[in-house]
Amino acid sequence: VQLQASGGGLVQPGGSLRLSCAASGTFFSVSTMGWYRQSPGKQRDLVATITSGGGTNYADSVKGRFTISRDNAKNTVYLQMNSLKPDDTAVYYCNADVRSSWYSRTVAYWGQGTQVTVSS
């Protein structure tokens, strides 16, 4: 299983970016998918998660500004980030809980990370 993230970059404060992350390979199902972020010297923190049924959870710091969504047919999760602030600067990692077969336990996979820099 591989997770390929894309969409990061440099944006001015108040701007927007959209991140994408696609799961590929051979597996049975993908349940919860999400985004986390990590700044230099800090731990990796939850940004948002979404279940296969569409249930969402957000960090307080991004509520009202970020929207997580997914396309189950494409095993892809998105993060629409609006009203970006300098504090949102971090490496953003996607995460997916994957079952390789119907009898397997769920295993968490991580993408390679994509840099988001918010600066004027």
> Residue 43's pLDDT is what?
96
pLDDT, tens digit, 9 for 90 and up, residues 21-50: 999 999 898 999 999 999 989 999 999 999
Report which DSSP code applies to 105.
P
> Residue 44's pLDDT is what?
96
pLDDT, tens digit, 9 for 90 and up, residues 45-67: 999 999 999 999 999 999 999 99
> Residue 89's pLDDT is what?
97
pLDDT, tens digit, 9 for 90 and up, residues 73-93: 999 999 999 999 999 999 999
Residue 18 β-bridge partners: 80
Using CB atoms within 10 Å of the CB of residue 90, give its burial: 0 to 12 exposed, 13 to 18 middle, 19+ buried.
buried
